[in-house]
Amino acid sequence: MPTPTSFAAQERSDRLIPNELELLASLLPLASQHIIELGCGAARLARDLLARHPSSHVTGLEVDAIQHEKNLAAAPLPGLQFLAAGAQAIPLPDECFDLALMLKSLHHVPVPEMGTALAEIARVLKPGGHLYVSEPVYAGPLNRIVRLYNDEGPVRTAAQHAVDEALTTGTWVQVAERRFDIPVHFESFEAFETRMMRPTFAHHYLDDERIAAVRAAFLPHQGPDGADFLRPMHVRLLQRTA
């Protein structure tokens, strides 16, 4: 497997990747690692990672109180622990992790605190440790439907600008960049509404007129087996300098 630094100044299009763990594993060693995931949600990738690499340890941080309670109530998994905290104030010691993950979570950090969050992540990473930032691209049919009720264009742009700004501080170097698509499936519009329009971590303005508009945009994509989309993603792999 190539070392992370061999990807410097290189970008490749790996178009369809059903499981992002495969991309992560192609970029970094994942065995015997201390990993922190910021905005872990249900920690699906973390659980998959530990199933493959039980010698590692993952600490998942989550600010959504409802999701955090679900995580605590789920079946325990050796090597996985959860904390109620955000990336902008990590309640852990300096230099204790090898790898930090932000999976579709940086754009959820309040814009004025994005720089603080990246500085906090640098603080808890060991020198030479890596930050894997995976952000959805503001494009594609699924995005056009979502922005009818939740336009994330400004915060996604702010997230990329925050990474760019962090790279000017001397704390980070970017060692890899990837663009790819993740398949997303919904059994029905009702499933889409529950999962995408009514998440526990956000409250979108949804009246009957807006729901009807989203439904009208969604239904042309639905077939007998549901609706399938490709979500374009942009990964930037940063390394903390010594």
pLDDT at 15: 87
pLDDT mean across residues, the chain: 93
- For the stretch 209-226, pLDDT in tens is 999 999 999 999 999 999
Could you tell me the domains of the chain? 4-137+151-183+232-240 (3.40.50.150)
- For the stretch 18-68, pLDDT in tens is 999 999 999 999 999 999 999 999 999 999 999 999 999 999 999 999 999
Prediction pTM value: 0.91
What average pLDDT score do residues 65-84 get?
96
The secondary structure of the chain as a DSSP string is ---GGGGTT-EEEEEE-S-HHHHHHHHS--TT-EEEEES-TT-HHHHHHHHH-TT-EEEEEE--HHHHHHHHHSPP-TTEEEEE--TTS--S-TT-EEEEEEES-GGGS-GGGHHHHHHHHHHHEEEEEEEEEEEE-S-SHHHHHHTTT---HHHHHHHHHHHHHHTTTTSEEEEEEEEEEEEEEESSHHHHIIIIIS-TT------HHHHHHHHHHHGGGEETTEEEEEEEEEEEEEEE--
- For the stretch 197-211, pLDDT in tens is 999 888 888 999 999
What's the token pair of residue 231? 């979500």
The answer to whether 235 touches 178, Cβ cutoff 8 Å, is yes
HEC states along 79-90? Answer: CEEEEECCCCCC
pLDDT at 50: 98
Residue 133 confidence (pLDDT) above 70: yes
